[in-house]
A = this chain, B = another copy of it.
Amino acid sequence: MKDVAYRAGVALKTVSRVVNGEAGVTPETAGKVLTAIGELGYRRNESARLLRTGRTATIGVVADNCGDPEHAALCRGVEEVAREHGFLLFTGSTDNDPARAERLTLSFCARRVDGLVIVPTQGDHSYLISEIEAGIATVFALRRPAQLTADAALVDERGAARTAVQHLISYGHKRIGYLGGSYEGGGNHGGGVAGYRTRQLLAGYAAAMAAAGLPASEAWAALTPRQLRDGAVTAVLCGSREHTALALRTLAAEQARRIAVVGFGDLDLAEFVTPGVTVVAYDSTAVGRAAAGLLRARLDGYSGPPREVVVPVRLIARGSAEISPALA
């Protein structure tokens, strides 16, 4: 920039004006500057500009794993809103490691991102408090953080489980189980990252069973693959794409599957599996957009109490529930 000013025979400020398209520069002067810029191959350094301006026009996204379809879709949703406002995205993966999450988040903060969209790990997030106080807008996505109450964009897992279970009940199923979380060592699904989703889903599951006056044994709510194979239930709700595949694999040995499978999360080729696999689909991109929307509100000055957006889900019936409960 100094070189450009020198070559054009003007002051730094004039170059700045031309580069920013500010009014009040003679076409003649502007021409000289533009020529110098062309000759020197000058490209403005946005980082320097932003240092002076005090903002960075960036948002940091802290996901479990940016390579996972669900989290990738989340990033995409954030990006869609961010780019409308000229923000660039830093993205990074924690791999569910709280230490890595802290390191990643703080390195985004050290770059002075304007905002943060965080998929929380199980660990403590108190290191965020000073950053939020320092003015970094923060929104959580997919899960609520353990200690903090803050803006969050979530998936309606309870509604998903309720819808799925009601669907099964309407086809006459009474013994309905849940396969999710960790099923080894006795079905521990209380803690951990997977635990959040399992807790939400089980709440919806329990509500739907209770509303129909059906009993729900502890064993059903923490089904193991073995119990599934042994016909403990006539229908199963699976807590993740991986668990849906696990259920299908577990039941694949049979000649013809006699247990209804409903999965949380849509899958490629689900429509081609026989008999059908019904799913409750959710749109992570919409969660990302919602998170970015909450963030935008904060950046635009909203400073009221924390808000939550819950993104609805959609049942895609694929004939799975029609498997007669009498078959199992």
- B73 touching A67, Cβ below 8 Å: yes
Chain A residues 53 to 99 lying within 8 A of chain B, measured CB to CB, are 56, 58, 65-69, 71-73, 75-77, 79, 83, 88-93
How far, in angstroms, from A48 to B47 measured CA to CA in the complex? 8
A112 at the interface (CB under 8 A from B): yes
Please measure, in the bound complex, the distance between the C-alpha atom of A44 and the C-alpha atom of B106, giving whole angstroms. Answer: 11
In the bound complex, do residue B67 and residue A76 qualify as a contact, i.e. CB atoms below 8 Å apart?
A: yes
Residues of B within 8 Å of A68, CB to CB, are: 72
Stretch at the interface among A169-177, A202-210, A271-279: A271-279
Given contacts A43-B110, A67-B72, contact A272 B285 (CB under 8 A): no
Give the docked Cα–Cα distance between A274 and B44 (Å): 58
Q: Which chain B positions have C-beta within 8 A of A107? A: 46, 88
Collect the chain B residues with CB atoms within 8 Å of residue A66's CB. 66, 72, 75-76, 79, 91
Choose, from A219-227, A262-270, A304-312, the stretch at the interface: A262-270
Is A326 part of the contact surface with B, judged by Cβ < 8 Å?
no
* A111 on the B face (CB < 8 A): yes
Kindly state the interface size class of chain A when it binds its partner.
35 or more
- Shortest C-beta distance, A84 to chain B (Å), equals 12
Query: Which of B45, B83, B241 is within 8 Å of A112, CB to CB?
Result: B45
Shortest Cβ distance from residue A310 to the other chain B in the assembled complex, whole angstroms: 21
Find out whether the CB atom of B76 lies under 8 angstroms from the CB atom of A83: no
How far apart sit A76 and B88, CA to CA, in the bound complex (Å)? 18
Q: Is A109 among interface residues, defined by CB-CB distance under 8 A?
A: yes
Residue of B nearest to A108 (CB): B88
Q: Which residues of B contact A272 (CB under 8 A)?
A: 248, 252, 269, 273
Set of chain B residues within 8 Å of A133, measured between Cβ atoms: 41
Q: In the assembly, what is the distance between CA of A47 and CA of B271, in Å?
A: 49
Give me 23 A-to-B residue pairs in the complex whose CB atoms sit less than 8 angstroms apart, sorted by A's number.
A41-B130, A41-B133, A41-B134, A43-B130, A43-B134, A45-B112, A47-B56, A47-B112, A48-B51, A58-B90, A66-B72, A66-B75, A66-B79, A67-B73, A68-B72, A69-B72, A76-B93, A79-B93, A88-B108, A89-B90, A268-B268, A272-B273, A274-B274
Known A45-B112, A273-B273; further 7 A-B contacts with Cβ < 8 A: A41-B134, A66-B79, A71-B72, A90-B90, A267-B268, A268-B270, A269-B272
What 5 pairs across the A-B complex have the smallest Cβ distances? A67-B76, A72-B72, A46-B110, A268-B268, A267-B268
